[in-house]
Amino acid sequence: MIVSTDAMFKHAYGKYAVGAYNINNAEQAMGLFQGCKDSNAPFIVQISKGARSYTDKRMLEAILRAANEIFPDVVFAVHLDHGDEPSCMDCIKSGFYTSVMIDASHAPFDQNVEITKRVVDAAHAKKIAVEAELGQLGGVEEDISVSQDKAHLTDPAQVEEFVKKTGCDSLACAIGTSHGAYKFTGSQGLHFEVIEEIARRLPKFPLVMHGSSSVPFDEVRRINYFGGKLREDAKGVDEKQLTIAGKKGVTKINIDTDGRLVWCRVHREQFELYPENFDLRPPGKVFMAEYARYIAHKNKVLGSAGQVDDLKKLLKV
- Residue among 151 and 308 whose Cβ is closer to ligand 13P: 151
213 binds, among Zn ion, ligand G3H, ligand 13P, none (CB under 5 to 8 A by kind): ligand 13P
Interatomic CA distance for residues 83 and 39, integer angstroms:
29
Q: Are the beta carbons of 2 and 78 closer than 8 angstroms? A: yes
Listed residue (271, 297, 295) closest to 284, CA to CA = 271
136 binds ligand G3H (CB under 6 A): no
Interatomic CA distance for residues 163 and 116, integer angstroms:
10
SS3 of 140-204 = EECCEEECCCCCECCCHHHHHHHHHHHCCCEEEECCCCECCCCCECCCCCCCHHHHHHHHHHCCC
81 binds ligand G3H (CB under 6 A): yes
* Binding residue (CB under 6 A) for ligand G3H from 61, 84, 169, 256: 256
167 binds ligand G3H (CB under 6 A): no
35 binds ligand 13P (CB under 6 A): no
Residue 38 annotated to the active site: no
Residue nearest to Zn ion as judged by C-beta position: 210
Catalytic residue among 38, 56, 81, 309: 81
Residues 223-262 that bind ligand 13P (CB under 6 A): 254-257
210 binds ligand 13P (CB under 6 A): yes
Stretches 27-35, 61-69, 208-216, 293-301: which one binds Zn ion (CB under 5 A)?
208-216
* Binding residue (CB under 5 A) for Zn ion from 37, 210, 252, 298: 210
Q: Output the CA torsion sign for 94, 96, 98, 103.
A: negative
141 binds ligand G3H (CB under 6 A): yes
* Binding residue (CB under 6 A) for ligand 13P from 179, 252, 268, 298: 179
Binding mask 189-228 for ligand G3H (x = CB under 6 A): ----------------------------------------
Question: Mind telling me the catalytic residues?
Answer: 81
